[in-house]
Structures are given as C-alpha cells and as structure tokens.
C-alpha cells in the first residue's frame, strides 16, 4: 500500500532527510521494536529498551495531557521513496513510499514510542495529537550505530536542583522554592543549580537537599521556626549578613557537612514558635531532647 504525506526535505552532514508530522496513533503501526537483547552489543543498532522506564513516561503523558512535550523521533527507513515538491526546486512537498515493504529503525526515541503505544491504551484520545519525526535513509548497521552515538553524544542530564527550579507542575518543588524565599536563614544560601556545593562556594545548601529532606514540615506560618534556628546557628546567621568569606577562611567547606544541611532542612519541625522556643506541642521532654540535639550539632 502506497502512502503519501507532507514533509520538508533537508540536508545535514551531506545526507538528505525528511521532517514530517505523524499522529500518535500511527506510531505503533509504523515503528516496531527490535529485541536488541538477543543480539551481542556489536550487532545492535542502539541500546536495549529499558522496559522499567516506560511506565514513568506513560504517567507523564496521561497526567499532563494539556502540557506534555516530546522532542522529535529519529528513524531510518529501508524502502524506496519519492519526494514530490509543491513546485520545482521547493523543499516542501510530499513523500511517497510503499508501507508494505517499508521497514523503520528507531535511531532515537524508542522509549518515547513505547510509552506512546502504552498511553494509547489508557487514553486513545491522545492518538489524535502529532509528533515530529525525522526520517533518514537506511545505509548500514555501522551508520545506524554512528547515528545513535552522535544523537546521544552531547546529551547532558540536567541537575536535580535545576529540575526542581524549573518544574512548575510539582507541588513539592513549588513549596521548596517558597521555603527558600520566605525563611530568612535560607536567603542567599541556596545553590539553585548544582547538585553538590563546590568547595569555595558561598552557598551552604542545595535546592535538591531541601527538596529531598524527609523532615521538611513547614507550618502555616512559613519561617516562624527560623528564629529558633538562627539562635542555634549564630555563625550561619552571620553569613547572611555578608560575612561568608570570613567564615570560609576559618571553617571547613560548607558542602562537607551533610548532616548539618539535613538538619537545616528540617527547620519546619519547629515552625510554630516564633519566640525562639521549641514548640509546646512537642511536650516538655521532647522539647528538651530536641533542644539538646540542636546544641550538640557543630554549627
């Protein structure tokens, strides 16, 4: 069966390719998954599909139907094609191919394709939406391997702190950002980009540390507990007054004390006592215990 679909013709690396749009419902029919696990690594065109990753991507699609986003799928076709431009010399036109003989190899995007296939079972309505697809002619296994490594060569995973900063869907991310802006002791001391604190950094905490901390319990009055923490952390409080460099010259690098950062992230446990005391709700013995534990920390 011959089909014709609109596409743009382009050249990259002295090779011709086509850019087109495909409905998500077409993905399961056009792109079949190769069981690369049965081949030795040198005979694979790309990595083995990690099935455990697929449910997470499916959840992303289903939970964010009004805002999910994917980059283009890149695939190689192994069939004869004809490009018919709208007018002579144009790079916009129609691509014709015989689907009965066509075989497609996914160079980049196999996990996205697997997730799209699974998401269609949960919500067929997403099948009407479209994704961009780049089509390259099949040349050889060596070329397919080279395409895979080239497409992934410069991909660098963003830091967790940066993901938290930019994630406006996650409620906890937003809550963590509110804490960094409203709790005085954290102002100016949070590294919002890196996963770990560099040795000579003026920051004391990372955004990911605050996000991960199991003890975050900021109450309705955000920042009330900072009075107690500042009283127990005099040196850290002075850092907020522009004395960071003096601190660094006489103390160990801020990023080394993981326990200190975790305890600071638990500031919300004391969030009801603005007068600097441990909350009465903890009980007398519990208040004494918590107070002693704070005193013993080498702030």
CA distance 88 to 97: 20
**Is the domain of 69 the same as that of 191?**
no
For CA atoms 284, 286, 292, 297, give the dihedral sign. Answer: negative
Last residue of one domain, picked from the residues 106, 131, 153: 153
**Is the domain of 22 the same as that of 135?**
yes
CA distance 176 to 265: 10
CA distance 283 to 295: 18
**Is the domain of 142 the same as that of 31?**
yes
* In the block, residue with structure tokens 């905490």: 205
CA distance 54 to 73: 16
Has this prediction a pTM greater than 0.85? Answer: no
**pLDDT values of the chain reduced to their tens digit, one per residue, 299 residues:** 788 999 999 999 999 999 999 999 999 988 887 778 888 888 888 899 999 999 999 999 999 999 999 999 999 999 999 999 999 989 999 999 988 878 899 999 999 999 999 999 999 999 999 999 999 999 999 999 999 999 999 988 889 999 989 999 988 888 888 888 888 888 888 999 988 888 888 888 888 888 887 444 543 444 444 444 445 455 555 555 555 555 444 444 444 444 444 445 454 443 333 444 444 444 445 445 544 554 454 44
Last residue of one domain, picked from the residues 153, 186, 213: 153
CA distance 153 to 147: 10
**Is the domain of 65 the same as that of 125?**
yes
Tally of CB atoms within 10 A around 212: 15
Range of the domain at 109: 2-153
**Is the domain of 279 the same as that of 180?**
yes
Please count the structural domains in the chain: 2
Both tokens assigned to 43: 């005979």
């Amino acid at each position: 069966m011959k089909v014709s679909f609109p596409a743009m013709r382009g050249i990259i690396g002295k090779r011709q390719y086509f850019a087109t749009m495909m409905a998500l419902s077409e993905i399961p029919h056009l792109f079949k998954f190769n069981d690369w696990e049965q081949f030795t690594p040198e005979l694979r065109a790309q990595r083995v599909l990690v099935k455990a990753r697929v449910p997470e991507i499916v959840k992303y699609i289903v939970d964010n139907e009004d805002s999910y986003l994917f980059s283009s799928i890149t695939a190689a076709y192994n069939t004869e094609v004809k490009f018919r431009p709208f007018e002579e010399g144009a790079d916009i036109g129609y691509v014709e191919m015989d689907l009965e003989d066509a075989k497609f190899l996914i160079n980049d995007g196999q996990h996205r394709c697997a997730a799209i296939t699974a998401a269609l079972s949960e919500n067929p309505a997403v099948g009407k939406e479209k994704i961009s697809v780049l089509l390259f002619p099949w040349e050889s296994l060596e070329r397919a391997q080279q395409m895979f490594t080239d497409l992934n060569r410069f991909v660098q995973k963003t830091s967790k702190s940066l993901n938290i900063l930019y994630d406006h869907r996650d409620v906890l991310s937003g809550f963590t950002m509110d804490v960094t802006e409203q709790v005085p002791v954290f102002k100016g001391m949070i590294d919002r980009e890196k996963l770990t604190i560099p040795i000579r950094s003026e920051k004391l905490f990372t955004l990911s540390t605050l996000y991960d901390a199991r003890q975050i319990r900021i109450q309705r009055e955000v920042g009330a507990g900072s009075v107690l923490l500042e009283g127990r952390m005099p040196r850290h409080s002075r850092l907020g007054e522009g004395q960071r460099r003096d601190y660094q010259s006489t103390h160990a690098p801020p990023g080394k004390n993981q326990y200190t950062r975790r305890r600071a992230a638990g500031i919300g446990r004391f969030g009801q006592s603005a007068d600097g005391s441990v909350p009465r709700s903890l009980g007398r013995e519990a208040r004494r215990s918590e107070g002693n534990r704070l005193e013993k920390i080498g702030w």
